[in-house]
Amino acid sequence: MSSKVLSATTLGLSSHLVEVEADTHSGMYVFSIVGLPDATVKESKDRVNAAVKNCGFKPPHRCGHVTVNLAPADIRKEGPIYDLPIALGFLLTTKQVDFDASDKLFVGELSLDGKIRPVNGVLPIALMAKEKNVAEIIVPKENAGEASIVKGIKVIPADNLNDLVSYLVGKKKIAPHPEQDLQKIFEPQKYHLDMIHVKGQEHAKRALEIAAAGGHNVLFSGPPGSGKTLLAKTFPSILPPLTFSEALEITKIFSIAGKLPREISLVSQRPFRSPHHSASAVSLVGGGQFPRPGEISLAHRGTLFLDEFPEFSRSVLENLRQPLEDGMIAVSRAQATLSFPARFTLIAAMNPCPCGNATDPEKLCSCSPSSIIKYQRKISGPILDRIDIHIEVPRMKFEKLTSEKAGESSEQIRERVIAARERQLARFKNIEGVIANSEMQNEQLKKFCVLGEKELELLRRAVNQLQLSARAYHRIIKIARTIADLAGSENIEVPHLAEAIQYRQRQI
């Protein structure tokens, strides 16, 4: 007699239903798992064997030939997520337990003593289960909060195999996990760094305000110790709060990557990722034998901070071309081609030369012209062209450092950013996938960024004198649209366009 238990697999950010079929027949003991399993899934037979035995049931090694099929067989299965459904399928097919498994979905790793351990990717699995009209999802106790974000599905937290079997056969009750209180999760966040603590650098702060309002990329250039890193680390404190759909998308990425802390059900803060300049291409953009999200996807709807920008390998930085343009990354491998979202705000920081003093009027640069050119050429023109705002961050004067005059706080700046974002959300409410000005395509530019004769003439002179590319031309218009939104203006005017033009790349 064979049995069937429902489980799931995750490909990219989407999940698919998996039928775990179990069958036994007499003969020499063999435990085979088929259906394109990876090494971790094949090892399930040893964990299941020990867990079933230590929970007081007749183990597989005393039941002859055991076959487990993970269907559909043409989708690769990976991870320890199938331990629990394999164990329950075995108990059903050997008639050691009897329960209706047709409307239940099971995921979980088994320890040797029968305890059910947490797994990755539970949120996308719960979303898929709801779409497939699965009535009940049984997950490890530590994953129950994550699964309960999805409303309209019964989430049963399972702690160990014995208690779960007792629940399934009706001998014990396990209370479903209560639905999450989203209002409590999205309470205002406190930040350790505040713009009010950054002395001077008003020009750079203004650039960050524009970047936060419109989702634009920024490159800081200046001597060491001028405050580039501090400005970047303060940037999250002025970003608008996450919407529920954004938080859900970010949480799915973190869950699949195994980066979601067990005590957190839903990511409520925009991510801030700061990989070291020794990072490999795979760690930055994602990949591996079976593709996993990289730093750019973990920074989705948040900030990717690349300090010491030219110290990154040029081949690594070139991988940012497609994500900076399209907001997604497609990772192709022999087994599969998967796409991960990567709609992040890039904040990069660099010195103008190897010694860092090339632009400092009071300190002598010790670098030769050839070494400065070589240093700057580590960043290609196409990458620089994709960065909207280029800002010089000068060395701070003593008077500024010791000044008691306080600048604006992050809260004050954030209010303006939120107001500008609300205008954008209203503007793009009927356009799928666009929530900020930086994400506009040519069609939206023509519709929402109509320029008058004076504005067109200013832009024409800028394009000709600065020899700007078509991409730079469109990005200037997007920045001007954001500046107009911050000013509460319905139309893009000459002052907005003039400010946007000054943020384009200049030769050092």
DSSP for 383-435, please give it. Answer: HHHT--EEEE-PPPPHHHHT-------HHHHHHHHHHHHHHHHHHTTTSTT--
Residue range 275-299: mean pLDDT, rounded: 90
In percent, the amount of the chain with pLDDT more than 70 equals 97
Residue whose entry in the numeric block shows the structure tokens 């990354």? 329
Q: Are strands 303-306 and 345-350 parallel, antiparallel or unpaired?
A: parallel
3-state SS class at 56: coil
Task: Out of 364-373, 410-419, 455-464, 499-508, pick the least confident.
Answer: 499-508
What are the tokens at 190?
């406190």
As a whole number of angstroms, the distance between CA 170 and CA 156 comes to: 14
Residue 496's pLDDT is: 96
pLDDT at 9 over 70: yes
Task: Out of 63-67, 135-139, 261-265, pick the least confident.
Answer: 261-265
As a whole number of angstroms, the distance between CA 161 and CA 250 comes to: 31
Residue range 324-336: mean pLDDT, rounded: 83
β-bridge partners, 292:
287
pLDDT at 68 over 70: yes
Q: Nearest 5 degrees, angle CA 262-CA 265-CA 266?
A: 125
pLDDT at 507 over 70: no
CA atoms within 13 A on the CB side of 72: 6
The reported pTM is 0.91
CB 399 within 8 A of CB 227: no
Q: Which CATH number fits domain 195-229+267-410: 3.40.640.10, 3.40.50.300, 1.10.3720.10, 3.10.450.50?
A: 3.40.50.300
Residue 508's pLDDT is: 39
Domain with CATH 1.10.8 in the chain: 440-508
pLDDT at 403 over 80: no
Strand order in the sheet with 136-140: 30-34, 65-71, 14-25, 2-11, 104-106, 136-140, 154-158
* Distances 349 to 217, 359, 471 between C-alpha atoms, Å: 11, 15, 22
As a whole number of angstroms, the distance between CA 47 and CA 114 comes to: 9
Nearest to 241 by CA among 118, 451, 414: 414
Residue 400's pLDDT is: 67
CA atoms within 13 A on the CB side of 293: 31
What are the tokens at 126?
């719960």
* Distances 174 to 3, 48, 100, 143, 376 between C-alpha atoms, Å: 24, 23, 16, 15, 62
In percent, the amount of the chain with pLDDT more than 90 equals 73
pLDDT at 396 over 90: no
Task: Out of 270-274, 284-288, 296-300, 436-440, pick the least confident.
Answer: 284-288
Show Cβ contacts of residue 66 under 8 Å, excluding neighbours closer than 6 positions: 22, 23, 24, 29, 30, 31, 32, 45, 60, 90
Q: Tell me which architecture the domain covering 2-168 has in CATH.
A: 2-Layer Sandwich (3.30)
What are the tokens at 131?
């779409």
Domain with CATH 3.40.50.300 in the chain: 195-229+267-410
Domain with CATH 3.30.230.10 in the chain: 2-168
**Cis status, amide bond into 72, omega within 30 of 0:** yes
Q: Where are the alpha helices (DSSP H) in 15-121?
A: 39-42, 44-54, 83-93
Q: What dihedral do alpha carbons 454, 459, 465, 466 form, nearest 10°?
A: 150
- R_g over Cα of the chain: 27
Residue 164's pLDDT is: 96
Residue 398's pLDDT band (boundaries 50, 70, 90)?
low
As a whole number of angstroms, the distance between CA 336 and CA 338 comes to: 6
CB 395 within 8 A of CB 225: yes
pLDDT at 115 over 90: yes
What are the tokens at 503?
């943020």
Q: Which fold has domain 440-508?
A: Helicase, Ruva Protein; domain 3 (1.10.8)
What are the tokens at 419?
């107001």
What are the tokens at 193?
């760094």
Mean of all residue pLDDT scores within the chain: 91
- Segment 238-282, tens digit of pLDDT: 999 998 889 999 999 999 998 998 888 889 899 999 999 999 999
Q: What dihedral do alpha carbons 299, 300, 303, 309 form, nearest 10°?
A: 60
Task: Out of 8-12, 187-191, 341-345, pick the least confident.
Answer: 187-191
